[in-house]
Amino acid sequence: MTPFPSSRLEPCPLLRYLADFDPLHVPHYRFDVVVVGGGASGGFAALGAANAGKSVAVVMKGPATASNTQWAKGGMAAVLDPADSFATHRDDTLVVGCGLSDPEVVERVVEGGPAALAHMEALGAQFDRDAQGHLALSKEGGHSFARIVHADGDATGFEMQRAITAALVRHPRVRMFEHHFAIDVLTSGDGNVEGVLCLSDRHEKVAFATTQVVLATGGAGQIYRETTNPEIATGDGLAMALRAGAILRDTEFVQFHPTCLYIAGAARILISEIVRGAGGILRDRNGYRFMPDHHPDAELAPRDVVSRAVFEQMVRTNDTSVYLDLSELKENPHKAFPAISRHCSFFGIDIATDPIPVRPGAHYMVGGIKVDLDGRTSVPGLWAVGESSSTGLHGANRMGSNSLLEALVLGDACGKASAKEASSEPPRGLTAIAARPDADVPDGFRLNVGDLTYSLKSTMWRQMGVLRSGPVLEELQHQLRFWMGALLRWPQEGVGVWELHNMLTVSRMATLGALERQESRGVHARTDFPDFSPDGPYHLEITPQTDAGHILGVRVRRCPLHAVQQPS
């Protein structure tokens, strides 16, 4: 593929494997397909493969219910209103994607919406209905019609996760492994997938031998201090895929949700776009409604527009937040949004009368592991779905409630496709791994992993946040290199160390992309390059460069849209 218009090699030493592995002393499981992650995309991939007759392991970092899906407060988009159409949903998605969405992928996902919703209901999910018994549809930013299905107002993800987990538990060909931390994808000398190395719930290493691994590990919000993501969202899938040789794409596109509850001592709870769709108004500390100054759709503008407007208003008014006003809602907000009501009431905030303090938080990894329409990566036998993947649906900016839709439609497709390619032969004997050379650590020295992790999160929030600039990104890249160099010399293993490796790796790749993309597009905003690139829209691919099994750096290249629809 001819680079367009630039390609450069970035020195970026990485460990191929984070942990030592001796197959003679580590127990093995054998499955046709191994899915890492049990949220909406991983769950549907697992069910798709199991329904195709394959044995499936679902490896989960925490309990079965701990996923990004469970935290989804909004809903799932699907064309159900007779006045709506697939063409309109497609066009809305393409507009919000700012020129980088793949029309073929968008059409496939949008047209799969009604069937995916029916599948969810068949699994037992209960969605909100109106007085006539019809599905209640809401409208969110970027959508031309009310097409958002939700459950219990703002608990859609919880209900979907409940139904998916129950389906996995009762399926005879699925076995679930909770509290198993996936360390690395195992590959053979020729680069084919051989399995996954994990730390079990007994804190012992265990290998899952398979020819097909599906990464459904969610996003990387925890690389930021302010995030709506759960603690498990440390970018594990992206980092594992890169170390295994997979191409990453558009890692600079991190979507910030504009309205996260911001109270000292409270979790950064996402306040769904549905709340603004129902009539919630954003005001500053002086009571001024500022969104009409930024977009004709005001509070229902695309999320990148709202996030930047909120951030700029915070700076303009010298405040730590702006405020969401629900006093003009026609329905009782306590009844419509019970979860938000409960959280706020603990702090004495009555959401029907009191303004709710909100600010942006890292919410969704728009870029990710480059895949084709069925979820194939550039590594034979390795697949990716959901937030960890880059399918071409979201482009430069995810439209609200399209992610759960994508997870179900493409998760099912990935499961079926991986089942077809699963080998009837058990994987060959796994190769022993010596992950790292002996390190010269001074006597008495201790690397404070917790402090380094918090410093990373704070620095990423300050320097790679809603607004970015070249000099600040260069400074950040220097700091990330410094931290990574120290971590590469630290010999200890453990979940905290492995997560920090993953977080630093994803932070470096995101910052590399942000430096290379010298334009503002979608969720990526450069103050020194405020306009679209004159070269037109392009994807940024990051490919690991290896020598004798060691990752020496990555190649960053710009690719025209027509050349990157399938993995190279």
What values do phi and psi take at 425, rounded to 5? -90, 140
The β-bridge relationship of strands 137-138 and 148-149 is antiparallel
pLDDT given at position 253: 98
Per-residue pLDDT tens over the stretch 345-399:
998 999 999 999 999 999 999 999 999 999 999 999 999 999 999 999 999 999 9
Q: Does residue 9 fall inside a structural domain?
A: no
Return d(Cα 275, Cα 445) in angstroms, integer. 50
Per-residue pLDDT tens over the stretch 439-487:
677 777 889 999 999 999 999 999 999 999 999 999 999 999 999 999 9
Residue 209 · residue 427 · CB < 8 Å: yes
Closest alpha carbon to 323 in 351, 291, 285: 285
Q: Does residue 508 fall inside a structural domain?
A: yes
Quick count: other Cβ atoms within 10 Å of Cβ 83? 9
pLDDT given at position 424: 67
Q: Are residues 356 and 367 in the same domain?
A: no
Query: Residue 339's pLDDT band (boundaries 50, 70, 90)?
Result: confident
Q: Does residue 280 fall inside a structural domain?
A: yes
Per-residue pLDDT tens over the stretch 192-230:
999 999 999 999 999 999 999 999 999 999 999 999 898
CATH number at 491 reads: 1.20.58.100
Residue 178 · residue 60 · CB < 8 Å: yes
303 is catalytic: yes
Return d(Cα 272, Cα 256) in angstroms, integer. 12
For residues 500-504, average pLDDT: 98
Q: Are residues 65 and 123 in the same domain?
A: yes
Q: Does residue 272 fall inside a structural domain?
A: yes
Q: Which residue do the tokens 């996936």 mark?
A: 182
pLDDT given at position 564: 42
Query: Residue 106's pLDDT band (boundaries 50, 70, 90)?
Result: very high
Return d(Cα 98, Cα 90) in angstroms, integer. 13
Last residue of a domain, one of 362, 392, 409: 362
pTM to 2 decimal places: 0.93
The full DSSP string for 278-295 is: TT-EEE-TT--B-GGGT-
Percentage of the chain surpassing pLDDT 90?
74
Q: Are residues 312 and 414 in the same domain?
A: no
Reading the block at residue 248, the tokens are 């990453």
pLDDT given at position 336: 86
Q: Are residues 355 and 383 in the same domain?
A: no
Query: Residue 271's pLDDT band (boundaries 50, 70, 90)?
Result: confident
Residue 40 · residue 159 · CB < 8 Å: no
Per-residue pLDDT tens over the stretch 536-568:
899 999 999 987 678 889 999 999 875 444 333
Element (H, E) at 539: strand 538-547
CATH number at 328 reads: 3.90.700.10
Per-residue pLDDT tens over the stretch 17-50:
999 899 889 999 999 999 999 999 999 999 999 9
Query: Residue 491's pLDDT band (boundaries 50, 70, 90)?
Result: confident
Q: How many domains does the chain divide into?
A: 3
Range of lowest pLDDT (9-18, 264-273, 436-445, 481-490): 436-445
Closest alpha carbon to 44 in 117, 149, 104, 110: 117
Return d(Cα 315, Cα 318) in angstroms, integer. 5
Straight-line distance from the first to the last Cα atom of the chain, in angstroms, rounded to the nearest whole number: 8
CATH number at 219 reads: 3.50.50.60
Q: Does residue 61 fall inside a structural domain?
A: yes
Return d(Cα 272, Cα 281) in angstroms, integer. 13
Does residue 430 carry a pLDDT above 90? no
Last residue of a domain, one of 316, 337, 362: 362
pLDDT given at position 104: 96
**Exposed / middle / buried, residue 440 (Cβ in 10 Å: 0-12, 13-18, 19+):** exposed
- Helices 470-489 and 449-463 cross at an angle (nearest 10°) of 170
Q: Does residue 236 fall inside a structural domain?
A: yes
Does residue 280 carry a pLDDT above 60? yes
Q: Are residues 392 and 327 in the same domain?
A: no
Q: Are residues 282 and 174 in the same domain?
A: no
The full DSSP string for 427-461 is: PPPPPPB--S----PPTT----HHHHHHHHHHHHH
Strand order in the sheet with 28-30: 28-30, 205-209, 193-199, 181-187
Residue 491 · residue 441 · CB < 8 Å: yes
HEC string of 550-567 equals EEEEEEEEEEEHHHCCCC
Q: Are residues 270 and 234 in the same domain?
A: no
pLDDT given at position 110: 98
For residues 55-83, average pLDDT: 88
Q: Are residues 99 and 239 in the same domain?
A: yes
Return d(Cα 164, Cα 295) in angstroms, integer. 38
Does residue 141 carry a pLDDT above 90? no
Measured in whole angstroms, how far is the alpha carbon of residue 488 from the centre of its chain? Answer: 25
Q: Are residues 84 and 120 in the same domain?
A: yes
Domain membership of residue 463 as a residue range? 447-563
**Exposed / middle / buried, residue 369 (Cβ in 10 Å: 0-12, 13-18, 19+):** buried
Residue 127 · residue 426 · CB < 8 Å: no
Q: What is the mean pLDDT of the chain?
A: 91
Does residue 2 carry a pLDDT above 50? no
Q: Are residues 155 and 277 in the same domain?
A: no
For residues 250-255, average pLDDT: 97
Q: Does residue 154 fall inside a structural domain?
A: yes
Q: Are residues 62 and 150 in the same domain?
A: yes
Q: Are residues 471 and 559 in the same domain?
A: yes
Return d(Cα 459, Cα 223) in angstroms, integer. 9
Q: Say which of 303, 376, 468, 558 is annotated catalytic.
A: 303
Does residue 516 carry a pLDDT above 80? yes
Q: Does residue 432 fall inside a structural domain?
A: no
Residue 255 · residue 363 · CB < 8 Å: yes
3-state helix, strand, coil in the chain (%, to 5): 35, 20, 45
Percentage of the chain surpassing pLDDT 70?
95
